[in-house]
A and B are shown apart, each in its own frame.
Chain A
Amino acid sequence: MAGVGLSATDAPRVAVWRDVRILRGALQVGFVVGVVALGVWLVSNLTTNLDRLGIRSDFEFLGAPAGFRILGSDFEASGTIREALIVGITNSIRVAVIGMILALLLGIVVGVARLSQNWLIARVASGFVELLRNVPPLVLVIVFYQVTLEVLPRIQDAAVSNGFLFSNRGVWIPWVTLGEGSRTYLAVLLAGLAAAIVVARARRARFERTGEPARAGLLATATFLVVAGVGWLVLDPPITPSLPVLDGRLVEGGASLYPEYLSLLLAMVLYTASFIAEIVRGSIQAVPKGQTEAADALGLSPGQRLRQVTLPQALRIAAPATGNEFLNLTKNVSLGVAVGYAELLRVAQTATGNGQPAPQSLSLVLLGYLTLSIIISLVVNVANRRLQLVER
């Protein structure tokens, strides 16, 4: 048993090809050399091919005029490719953010409904989940798109109800027109919000000092409403509602949701909500039974038990998995390309079709979506860390 490396002086006796430190170093150097060689080979192939085909390999095309228009935005054909791509990523973000909010709300409602005491509600909720999550999201996007195109009436005979207008050119919803004082009014609203926070803090401090009921939420809301109301009266209605009105083949007022946008958003929301619902259900079931029993023992009503005991704990469990679904949703926004929604990939595809170099355009798309993914996972991680219980 002599010679086993027990002391430092024995170390040199180990043969070089069996020395763990040297082996580890050699393996890592070999790995790096392999990866770098592969990368160099790929890049040299790329440049050779691009040169051979006469395709530019720089990013100067970004400053060139785009030569195409983008549906649903002010972008004109004279704008540059760079501006077009920015419109594209803005459109991606718009669907992603609105989709996340709606999918989260719907997912929580359906997830809670799946555990309802009422058999029918529970069955309808689980039917919703099973129906949607087993269909490819692209099928959903296309189904909703075709339904808008084929089932909704033509624009001339659009159906109007309660300020909504339905046609196969899109759906118009009631919206607002911003008047002259709208910027000032925004400042007034922010001031009201600040005042409300001050009031709430003061009330809570008072509660901790004296033990009198705080009613912080009530008083803070009242403060905000008073400031908002006074500002409204003084500023000569800064915001007026605007309803869509049909005029021949044109629609005045309201806000339009194009079929492409509508079908993509709807598919994203429903598909993601079905996954979030499952996560929420699992998380609620994962809350220890003692918690519900304790809530019952305190005499909380079923609604209070859900809102104040079960859900807050369940959402803490659900946070990481929900963050994953948000990432999936963001990446799935690129499915909009199938119905012609002008998200980032679609814009790049159009540019490529107009003769712009594909390698650079697609790299920018990948970069854009990777950046969005990273931002979302950072936000989710921060939120997650703040939600987790701090133990000892």
Chain B
Amino acid sequence: MAAAIDAPAAVPPVRPRDPVVWLRRNLFSSWPSAVATLVLAPAVAITLFRFVRFLVVDARWEIVRVNLALYLIGPFPRDQVGRLWIALAVLAVALGAGAGAIAATARETAEAAGRPLNAGWGERIRRAGPPVLLVVGILAFASGVEPVLLTVGALGLGAAAAAVTQRLSPRGRRAVPALTVLGIGASLAIISRFGGVPATDWGGLLITMFYTIGALLLAFPIGILFALGRRSTLPVVRWGCTAYVEFFRGSPLITLLFVGWLILPFFLPPDFPTPGLVTRALIIFVFFTSAYVAEIVRGGLQAVGRGQREAAQALGLTPWKQTRLVILPQALRAVIPGLVGQAISLFKDTTLVLIIGQSDLLAVSRSVTKQDQFLGQGYIVESLTFVAIVYWVISYWMSRESQRLEARLGVGTR
């Protein structure tokens, strides 16, 4: 065995770079393949050409240019926008620090597994491409240099935070998750507290992001509790948690949102102040997401070997410490990609608040076409295209990062 590992690596065969060879191999390897190529190539070329021509030439983007603020923040009072910029900077630092810590952990895991990662510049550019293009694309519709400078400044702070936490020792990184959560909470408080703007006046991309981040943060601990409950040795607790998880996984989210909208207030005492619409929707998102998080975490718990629990018992740890110090850390690391997947699906699901009458990004894309200057001229095509691209880029980017993370954390491999 050792000899096989120590043997010098075989020289990989040189790939033919000759374009004719490449064509014959990949496009004209057989008659059916050649026919398919000849039929598909023009169709693909025409489609791509039309799409690019629409984006660059034909599309009447003035609907986006005029209404950019509506798409991004909805009815948010314009004299309070300063709060949003500060909150964005705080949020960028918090998320940047979190991302830096995750990246450092992933790097160390890969190094420990003997597969050090050296990301070249090409890979870095490919990774940063989608979000940078999105920001540039949105800023291209902005008027004036002020938003550009502020955005670049906030994102720069985020990048700096990421760079700092990447260089921290594993001990120093331990405080990062708490700081990230604190930062997210602080940015929310900056917007809504201290004479700020209540959530009912938020809209556009802002409320989409609020639901996504808020529901994830709250659903995560609840989901872990239900996952542990589902694996409990106490039958009654197990049944109760299973019922909760299966109920929320079996119900369509939009029906649950209707329940939150129309009948959740009925379940509260008559003298209790009715929570606002945004809070009610957030509660439903939290319930729904926590059921899925519970299932994902349960998968991770099952993947932790029996021996781990037994070893922890042998060390004399209390049951709670066994779970918290030995089982959970291993289980959670294994399910990070699954959790990112759930984040993507939650991000896409936030569009459903349109149906209960809130003005999220998708709802704005429909309502702006009813403005006098755009009414009845088919501007919905441009508006929906813009919004679809925003959704697409963000979730495509997240799913790419999650695949990378999966490979780095070596999930399923040891």
Which chain A residues have a beta carbon within 8 Å of chain B's beta carbons? 24, 27-28, 31-32, 35, 42, 45-46, 48-50, 52, 117-121, 124, 130-131, 134-139, 142-143, 146, 150, 327, 331-335, 337-338, 345, 349, 352, 358-359, 362, 365-366, 369-370, 373-374
Complex Cα spacing A332 to B255, Å: 10
Whether the Cβ atoms of A136 and B255 lie closer than 8 Å is no
Whether the Cβ atoms of A120 and B37 lie closer than 8 Å is yes
Instruction: Please name all residues of chain B whose beta carbon is closer than 8 Å to the beta carbon of A134 when the two chains form the complex.
Output: 344, 391-392, 395-396, 399
17 contacts between A and B (CB under 8 A): A27-B237, A28-B237, A42-B267, A117-B33, A118-B29, A119-B27, A120-B26, A120-B37, A135-B395, A150-B381, A331-B252, A334-B254, A359-B262, A362-B262, A366-B255, A370-B250, A370-B251
Complex Cα spacing A272 to B371, Å: 34
Instruction: Please name all residues of chain A whose beta carbon is closer than 8 Å to the beta carbon of B396 when the two chains form the complex.
Output: 130, 134
Whether the Cβ atoms of A135 and B392 lie closer than 8 Å is yes
Whether the Cβ atoms of B259 and A362 lie closer than 8 Å is yes
A124 CB contact (under 8 Å) in B29, B44, B235, B392: B44
Which B residues, 9 to 47, have Cβ-Cβ distances below 8 Å to chain A? 26-27, 29, 33, 36-37, 40-41, 44
Instruction: Please name all residues of chain A whose beta carbon is closer than 8 Å to the beta carbon of B265 when the two chains form the complex.
Output: 49
A117 to chain B, nearest CB (A): 6
Whether the Cβ atoms of A120 and B362 lie closer than 8 Å is no
A306 to chain B, nearest CB (A): 13
Given the known interface contacts A31-B236, A120-B44, the answer about A138 and B259 at a Cβ–Cβ threshold of 8 Å is no
A259 to chain B, nearest CB (A): 14
Complex Cα spacing A42 to B266, Å: 9
B230 to chain A, nearest CB (A): 13
Query: Does residue B275 face the partner (Cβ distance < 8 Å to A)?
Result: no
Instruction: Please name all residues of chain B whose beta carbon is closer than 8 Å to the beta carbon of A124 when the two chains form the complex.
Output: 40, 44
B236 to chain A, nearest CB (A): 4
Which B residues, 325 to 361, have Cβ-Cβ distances below 8 Å to chain A? 344, 348-349, 351-352, 354-355
B324 to chain A, nearest CB (A): 18
Query: Does residue B378 face the partner (Cβ distance < 8 Å to A)?
Result: yes
Whether the Cβ atoms of A150 and B378 lie closer than 8 Å is yes
A138 CB contact (under 8 Å) in B256, B258, B354: B354
Given the known interface contacts A130-B396, A345-B258, the answer about A142 and B251 at a Cβ–Cβ threshold of 8 Å is no
Whether the Cβ atoms of A359 and B36 lie closer than 8 Å is no
Query: Does residue B142 face the partner (Cβ distance < 8 Å to A)?
Result: no
Among residues of A, the one whose C-beta sits closest to the C-beta of B266 is: A49
Given the known interface contacts A146-B380, A337-B254, the answer about A359 and B266 at a Cβ–Cβ threshold of 8 Å is yes
Complex Cα spacing A365 to B254, Å: 11
Complex Cα spacing A231 to B36, Å: 41
Query: Does residue B268 face the partner (Cβ distance < 8 Å to A)?
Result: yes
Instruction: Please name all residues of chain A whose beta carbon is closer than 8 Å to the beta carbon of B37 when the two chains form the complex.
Output: 118, 120
Instruction: Please name all residues of chain B whose beta carbon is closer than 8 Å to the beta carbon of A150 when the two chains form the complex.
Output: 378, 380-381
Given contacts A28-B237, A49-B266, A349-B258, 7 further A-B contacts (CB under 8 A): A32-B236, A134-B399, A136-B349, A139-B388, A142-B366, A146-B384, A335-B352
Whether the Cβ atoms of A331 and B351 lie closer than 8 Å is no
Instruction: Please name all residues of chain B whose beta carbon is closer than 8 Å to the beta carbon of A142 when the two chains form the complex.
Output: 362, 366, 384
Whether the Cβ atoms of A135 and B237 lie closer than 8 Å is no
A137 to chain B, nearest CB (A): 7
B259 CB contact (under 8 Å) in A24, A50, A366: A366
Whether the Cβ atoms of B270 and A46 lie closer than 8 Å is no
Which chain B residues have a beta carbon within 8 Å of chain A's beta carbons? 26-27, 29, 33, 36-37, 40-41, 44, 233-237, 240, 247, 250-256, 258-259, 262-263, 265-270, 344, 348-349, 351-352, 354-355, 362, 366, 378, 380-381, 384, 387-388, 391-392, 395-396, 399
Whether the Cβ atoms of B40 and A373 lie closer than 8 Å is no
Among residues of B, the one whose C-beta sits closest to the C-beta of A374 is: B250
Whether the Cβ atoms of A117 and B384 lie closer than 8 Å is no
Instruction: Please name all residues of chain A whose beta carbon is closer than 8 Å to the beta carbon of B235 when the two chains form the complex.
Output: 28
Whether the Cβ atoms of B388 and A143 lie closer than 8 Å is yes
Among residues of A, the one whose C-beta sits closest to the C-beta of B208 is: A136
Instruction: Please name all residues of chain B whose beta carbon is closer than 8 Å to the beta carbon of A45 when the two chains form the complex.
Output: 266-270
Instruction: Please name all residues of chain A whose beta carbon is closer than 8 Å to the beta carbon of B26 when the two chains form the complex.
Output: 117-120
Whether the Cβ atoms of B351 and A118 lie closer than 8 Å is no
Whether the Cβ atoms of A136 and B258 lie closer than 8 Å is no
Instruction: Please name all residues of chain A whose beta carbon is closer than 8 Å to the beta carbon of B384 when the two chains form the complex.
Output: 139, 142-143, 146
A345 CB contact (under 8 Å) in B247, B254, B381: B254
Complex Cα spacing A308 to B384, Å: 44
B41 to chain A, nearest CB (A): 6
A392 to chain B, nearest CB (A): 23
Instruction: Please name all residues of chain A whose beta carbon is closer than 8 Å to the beta carbon of B44 when the two chains form the complex.
Output: 120, 124
Among residues of B, the one whose C-beta sits closest to the C-beta of A23 is: B234
B266 CB contact (under 8 Å) in A35, A50, A137, A370: A50
Complex Cα spacing A338 to B259, Å: 16
B270 CB contact (under 8 Å) in A49, A366, A370: A49
Of the candidates B41, B267, B378, the one having the most CB atoms from chain A within 10 angstroms of its own CB is: B267
Instruction: Please name all residues of chain A whose beta carbon is closer than 8 Å to the beta carbon of B391 when the two chains form the complex.
Output: 134-136, 139
B239 to chain A, nearest CB (A): 10
Whether the Cβ atoms of A117 and B29 lie closer than 8 Å is yes
Complex Cα spacing A310 to B366, Å: 46
Among residues of B, the one whose C-beta sits closest to the C-beta of A332 is: B252
Instruction: Please name all residues of chain B whose beta carbon is closer than 8 Å to the beta carbon of A138 when the two chains form the complex.
Output: 351-352, 354-355, 362
Whether the Cβ atoms of B262 and A358 lie closer than 8 Å is yes
Complex Cα spacing A131 to B393, Å: 10
A75 to chain B, nearest CB (A): 21
A138 to chain B, nearest CB (A): 4
Instruction: Please name all residues of chain B whose beta carbon is closer than 8 Å to the beta carbon of A349 when the two chains form the complex.
Output: 258
Among residues of A, the one whose C-beta sits closest to the C-beta of B380 is: A146
Complex Cα spacing A49 to B253, Å: 25
Instruction: Please name all residues of chain B whose beta carbon is closer than 8 Å to the beta carbon of A345 when the two chains form the complex.
Output: 252, 254-255, 258
B190 to chain A, nearest CB (A): 28
Of the candidates A136, A139, A358, the one having the most CB atoms from chain B within 10 angstroms of its own CB is: A136
Instruction: Please name all residues of chain B whose beta carbon is closer than 8 Å to the beta carbon of A135 when the two chains form the complex.
Output: 348, 388, 391-392, 395
Complex Cα spacing A117 to B34, Å: 11
A164 to chain B, nearest CB (A): 20
Complex Cα spacing A327 to B253, Å: 13
Whether the Cβ atoms of B399 and A136 lie closer than 8 Å is no
Complex Cα spacing A28 to B270, Å: 31
Complex Cα spacing A200 to B223, Å: 53
B348 CB contact (under 8 Å) in A131, A136, A352: A136
Given the known interface contacts A150-B381, A370-B247, the answer about A118 and B255 at a Cβ–Cβ threshold of 8 Å is no
Whether the Cβ atoms of B250 and A338 lie closer than 8 Å is no
Among residues of A, the one whose C-beta sits closest to the C-beta of B243 is: A35
Instruction: Please name all residues of chain B whose beta carbon is closer than 8 Å to the beta carbon of A28 when the two chains form the complex.
Output: 234-237
Whether the Cβ atoms of B258 and A137 lie closer than 8 Å is no
Whether the Cβ atoms of B234 and A27 lie closer than 8 Å is yes
Instruction: Please name all residues of chain B whose beta carbon is closer than 8 Å to the beta carbon of A146 when the two chains form the complex.
Output: 380-381, 384
Complex Cα spacing A165 to B26, Å: 40
